[in-house]
């Protein structure tokens, strides 16, 4: 029997501060670790970040995403980790992404501005569904460009 797939969405406050280079190094490290661990754990998903916050979607077998979320919550590079959604799903929305990311490019900044107008530039006001939809649309566009 195959295990039930689940999708988890959370939001957190970015605690990495400092110069762009330091911030980039943290992001590179997070993505590198995530891709190794998530490939091992059959987890796919995407990470959205800016200087103030992270939002992430994880999808995979429930015990695996729960274990990953435990580790993620212990990470002091962010805080105020808020679980927004944890639901069973039929199929993966990020099948090709051990961890896709949407970050600081100018194109993304413009997109963020759009979301900002409805959320006061604060993604913590977005629901799990909105974050999921946003990340799915952005990664689909990335795939189209690739």
Ligand X SMILES: Cc1cc2nc3c(=O)[nH]c(=O)nc-3n(C[C@H](O)[C@H](O)[C@H](O)COP(=O)(O)O)c2cc1C
User: What is the C-alpha separation between 55 and 64, in angstroms, rounded?
Assistant: 19
| Identity of the residue, 14 or 119, whose beta carbon is nearer to ligand X in the bound complex | 14
Q: How far is the CB of 104 from ligand X (least distance, A)?
A: 14
Residue that has been written with the tokens 């580790």 in this structure: 71
Which of 31, 130 has the CB closer to ligand X? 31
CB of 55 to ligand X, least distance (A): 9
Q: Report the interface residues with ligand X, using CB under 6 A.
A: 30, 33-34, 37-38, 47, 54, 56, 58, 68, 71-72, 75, 77-78, 99
Alpha-carbon distance values, 92 to 3, 5, 104, 116 (Å): 13, 8, 25, 27
- Taking the least distance from each CB to ligand X, the nearer of 30 and 131 is 30
Nearer to ligand X, 54 or 94 (CB): 54
The three-class DSSP label of residue 20 is: helix
Give least dist CB 105 to ligand X, A: 18
Alpha helices (H) in the chain, listed in sequence order: 20-40, 62-74, 106-119, 128-145
The token pair that represents 17 in the structure block: 């501060």
Q: Considering the complex, state which of residue 58 and residue 102 has its C-beta at the smaller distance from ligand X.
A: 58
Shortest reach from residue 56's CB to ligand X, in Å: 5
Antiparallel, parallel or unpaired: β 5-14 and 53-61: antiparallel
């Amino acid at each position: 029997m195959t295990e039930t797939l689940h999708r988890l969405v959370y939001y957190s406050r970015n605690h990495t501060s400092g110069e762009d280079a330091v911030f980039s190094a943290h992001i590179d490290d997070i993505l590198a670790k995530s891709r190794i661990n998530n490939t091992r754990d059959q987890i796919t998903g995407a990470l959205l970040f800016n200087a103030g916050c992270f939002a992430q979607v994880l999808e995979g077998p429930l015990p695996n995403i729960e274990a990953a979320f435990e580790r993620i919550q212990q990470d002091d590079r962010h805080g105020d980790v808020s679980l927004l959604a944890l639901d069973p799903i039929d199929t993966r929305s990020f099948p090709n992404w051990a961890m896709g990311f949407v970050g600081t490019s100018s194109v993304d900044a413009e997109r963020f501005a759009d979301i900002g107008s409805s959320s006061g530039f604060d993604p913590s006001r977005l629901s799990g569904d909105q974050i999921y939809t946003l990340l799915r649309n952005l990664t689909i566009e990335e795939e189209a460009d690739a």
